[in-house]
Structure 1
Amino acid sequence: MFNLGLYLVTIVIWGSTWIITKHQVSELSPLHSVFLRYLLAALLLQSLIKIFGSKTQYSPKTHLLFFLLGSSLFCWNYVLFYFAASTGLTTGLIALIFSTIISMNIANNALIFKEYPKLTTVIGAVIGLFGITLVFYEDLSDFKETNLLSSIVLCLIATYLASLGNMFSKILQRKNVTVVSANQWGMTYGALSLLITTLFFDQNIQIPVTISFLSGLFFLAIFGSIVGFWSYLTLLGRVGADKAAYAMIVFPIWSLMLSWIFEDFTWTPIKIIGVAIIISGNYFMISKHSFDLRIRLS
């Protein structure tokens, strides 16, 4: 039941962040938006760690892993996603592209940890991705602006960075570093990297003092970053990268529902079929009666 709760928290929170992200970049640059988000999240996590007395001193090698975690999962991947959102790419399409992280996690898990997926895991991933593609097929066919390719490339690079961040998190958990501590240091290094970049380019940060921006910033920092990443990375350590990443296939459906409510999204027969296919992929991924045949890299 605990794993199910982690799945639900991850799906509901991360499925809600894309629309808020789009509003953030309409008021502040992507670089500054991500910096403020993770600076706030890091400060809040640091306060929690001091209150509950978690370990705060780690070796230089562990800090290198924190830096790699922050750079890949709490920094440049989000800058790229925010830039893609600022080009006009819809939240549904961004969520669709990010769902490819499940395939990237399966590949990286095999390459880095030599943990090869079951055949049914691969089948479930393929089915789920196909279902997501059907759900957003009409949006893909209608989006013909010249910046489409560059926006997709940005999202794919960002997704792969996030997948690498998942691997660094797994390494840290194997070193008995808590998810909260790893996230706090990772977010700190991520925010510092963005601050240095901002100072290097001599950019001034002008924070919009509006209710919509500040409330969105706090939601993204507290729920999207602290709670969302805690639930997902905890799930990653408990069930493995391949099955944890299936939440990345399901949460775009929640994004789709929010787009239906707030962005005039219209349901069509092909989208309903896509949702049904995603549910089928879920069965193949988590079925207790799945085949134990493994896929190995030659």
Structure 2
Amino acid sequence: MNALNSALYLATILIWGSTWLAITYQLGEVDPLVSVIYRMALASGLLFIWCWLRDIPLRISTRDHRFMAAQGCFLFGLNYWTIYWSEVYLPSGLVAVIFSLLVFFNIINGRIFLNHPVTLSTVVGGLIGLTGICMLFYPEFALLSHSESNSNPNGALIGFGLAFVAVIFASLGNIVATRNGNTGISVWAINAWSIFYGTAILALIALVTGAEFSYGSTLEYSLSLIYLSVFGTILAFGAYLKLLINIGPSRAGYTSLIIPFVAIILSTLFEDYQWTLLAAGGFMLVALGNYIVLKRR
């Protein structure tokens, strides 16, 4: 890889690997749903300004608007809401590892919606990855379930369920994004509209559920919000999409192998994530499962 692609690769890994920890600074004082709305509204606004400054066309057909809304709903709306919610119950690094199942769900949904083939190595890699997730998840579930100070003994199970649902939402969003990316519309315009629709859908949910639109009083909340909007949503997506163009999806997909390593190292340093031998073995199996799938593809 040349210097530019190496820089894009490194930026994608470090930014997305660190966003899992940054999300934890958005939790506690503000409803997770509202925090996601703030993040996406800021990102969408900045993207529309960027398109305007660069004369990137924003006019699209009614049919394309519907698909942008679908992408926004799954990829930038429901996906991030359930991720934030899952981190209320689980360490950020553990959620990042669970989210690496996205590789397998993309293949399954690619088969269902895009008629992409599924190979034997994909099935084997998926089974290895799922086994690793179970090994990694069990110590955390046992720890939270037997903690006398834990007011919700089912918290680990709830967190896992939310993270698992987030993966499904993200995969469906990726399928729609594949369709949108093949229209010839600028990626910046696609993301601007998609994030806008995702924000609008979440705002509607917030109004229906009666969520309180408060704002975090700490400096960490504001700084993490800016970081997640500008770096985690705009720049990381831009870097990764550029990487897809330059080196292809197969090689770019290997970022999903390294991102959980970054996330769980940060979780160990800043959230005091407690390692066990079983968890370490599970983490390595997840990485191996991803490698087997990506190696073949």
- Which residue of structure 1 aligns with residue 46 of structure 2? 44
Superimposed CA distance per residue, residues 197-247 of structure 1 (whole angstroms, 9 cap, x where no aligned partner):
33344554222243111001000101111122233445567634x765553
SS of the residue aligned with 1:55? coil
Q: 1:131 to 1:5 in 2, by over 3 A?
A: farther
- Which residue of structure 2 aligns with residue 104 of structure 1? 105
Q: What does 1:1-298 correspond to in 2, within 5 Å?
A: 1=1, 5-86=7-88, 88-128=89-129, 130-131=131-132, 134=135, 138-144=139-145, 145-201=153-209, 203-235=211-243, 239-240=248-249, 246-267=254-275, 269-270=277-278, 273=281, 277=285, 280-281=288-289, 284-285=292-293, 287=295
Alpha-carbon shift at residue 178 of structure 1 (Å): 2.5
Percent identity of paired positions between Structure 1 and Structure 2: 32
SS of the residue aligned with 2:87? helix
Give the residue type in structure 1 aligned to 2:83.
F
* TM-score where L is the length of structure 1: 0.83
**Which is worse superposed, 200-209 or 147-156?**
200-209
Superimposed CA distance per residue, residues 12-70 of structure 1 (whole angstroms, 9 cap, x where no aligned partner):
21221122212211121011100000000011111111111111110011111110011
Q: 1:204 to 1:272 in 2, by over 3 A?
A: closer
Alpha-carbon shift at residue 149 of structure 1 (Å): 2.9
Alpha-carbon shift at residue 172 of structure 1 (Å): 1.0
Alpha-carbon shift at residue 160 of structure 1 (Å): 0.5
Unmatched tracts of structure 1, length 5 or more: 293-298
Give the residue type in structure 1 aligned to 2:225.
L
SS of the residue aligned with 2:57? coil
* TM-score where L is the length of structure 2: 0.83
Equivalent-residue separation in structure 1 for 2:15 and 2:84 (angstroms): 17
Contact 1:41–1:221 (8 Å) recurs in 2: yes
Contact 1:77–1:162 (8 Å) recurs in 2: yes
**Which is worse superposed, 13-22 or 277-286?**
277-286
- Please give the root-mean-square deviation of Cα atoms over the aligned residues, in Å: 2.9
